[in-house]
Amino acid sequence: MGAVAEPSGVSQTVGSAGTAVTASTTGTAVAAYTAVMVTIKIGAVATIGAVAAHTAVSAAAALTAVTAVTGVLTTSPASPTITAGATAPCTLAGLIAQAAAESWMGLTLAQTIAPGLPFFMGGVTSILDMQTMIFSYGAPELALAECGLTELAHYAGIPLWNTGGCTDSKTLDEQAAIEGSFSVMAAALCGGDLTHDVGYTESAMTGSLFQLCMMDEAIGWSRRVTRGIEVNEETLAVEVIKSVGPNGHYLRHPHTRKFFKTEFWYPTLCDRHNYEEWSAAGSLPMRERVIAKVREILETHTPPPIKKETRDVIEKVLADAEARVKSTDTKKK
Partner 1 sequence: MSKILEQLATAIIEGDIDNTPKLVQKALDEGLEPLSILNDGMVMGMNEVGRRFKAGEMFVPEVLMSAEAMQAGLKILRPLLVSSGAKLLGKVIMATVQGDLHDIGKNLVGMMCEGAGFEVIDLGFDVPAERIVQAVKEHKPDIVGLSALLTTTMRQMAYTIKALEEAGLRDKVKVMVGGAPVDAEFAKKIGADGYGSNAAAGAELAKKLVGAA
Partner 2 sequence: MEVHKVNYEVNATPTLQILTEDEIEAIYFSSLRVLEETGVRCYNPEGVDILHAHGAHVEDKNLVKVPSWMVERARSTLPKKVTVVGMPDKDGKRKYRMDLVKNSAYWGTGSDTPYTIDPYTLKRRRSTYQDVKNLAIIAEALPNIDFFMSLGITQDTAVGTYDRWQYLAMLEGTNKPINITAVDVEGLRDQLEMAYIRLGGKEEWKKAPAFSLYIEPVSPLSHDPIVIGKLLFCCDNDIPFVYTPCPQAGATAPCTLAGVLVQALTESLFGIVLSQLRKPGAQVIIGGLLSQMDMQTTVMAYGSPEMALLSAAYTDITKWLMVPMYNTSGCSDAKMFDEQAAMEATLNTFIAGLIGGNMIHDVGYIESGLTSSPDMLVASDEIIGMVKRFLQGIPVTRETVPLETIDQVGPGGHYLGTDHTLRHFKTEFWKPVLMDRLDWDRWVKAGSKPMRERVHQRVLEILQAEREPLFDEKMYKELRRICELADERHKGEEMGIGIV
Buried b (16+ CB within 10 A) or exposed e, 189-212: bbbbbbbbbbbbbbbbeeebbbbb
Query: Could you give the angle at which helices 174-190 and 209-227 cross, rounded to 10 degrees?
Result: 40
96 binds partner 2 (CB under 8 A): yes
Nearer to partner 1, 129 or 271 (CB): 271
Pick one of 286, 313, 314, 317: the residue that binds partner 2 (CB under 8 A). 286
38 binds partner 2 (CB under 8 A): yes
Whole-number CA gyration radius for the chain: 24
Cα–Cα nearest to 143, from 180, 93, 103: 180
For the segment 23-62, give every residue that binds partner 1 (CB under 8 A).
none
Pick one of 250, 313, 314, 317: the residue that binds partner 2 (CB under 8 A). 250
75 binds partner 2 (CB under 8 A): no
Question: Using CB under 8 A as the criterion, what x/- string covers residues 78-107 for binding partner 1?
Answer: ------------------------------
Q: How far is the CB of 216 from partner 1 (least distance, A)?
A: 17
Where is 224: in which H helix or E strand?
helix 209-227
252 makes contact, choosing from partner 2, partner 1, none, with CB < 5 to 8 Å by partner type, with partner 1
32 binds partner 2 (CB under 8 A): yes
Question: At residue 280, what are phi and psi to the nearest 5 degrees?
Answer: -60, -30
- Among 107-115, 266-274, 308-316, 321-329, which window interacts with partner 2 (CB under 8 A)? 266-274
- Among 101-109, 174-182, 207-215, 247-255, which window interacts with partner 1 (CB under 8 A)? 247-255
257 binds partner 1 (CB under 8 A): yes
Cα–Cα nearest to 211, from 268, 294, 283: 294
Q: Could you tell me where the beta strands, DSSP code E, fall in 166-293?
A: 194-196, 200-201, 206-207
CB 252 within 8 A of CB 41: no
CB 192 within 8 A of CB 148: no
178 binds partner 2 (CB under 8 A): yes
276 binds partner 1 (CB under 8 A): yes
Size of the site for partner 2 (CB under 8 A): 130
> Identity (one letter) of the amino acid at 51?
V
Give the binding site for partner 1 (CB under 8 A).
247, 249, 251-252, 256-257, 260-261, 274-277
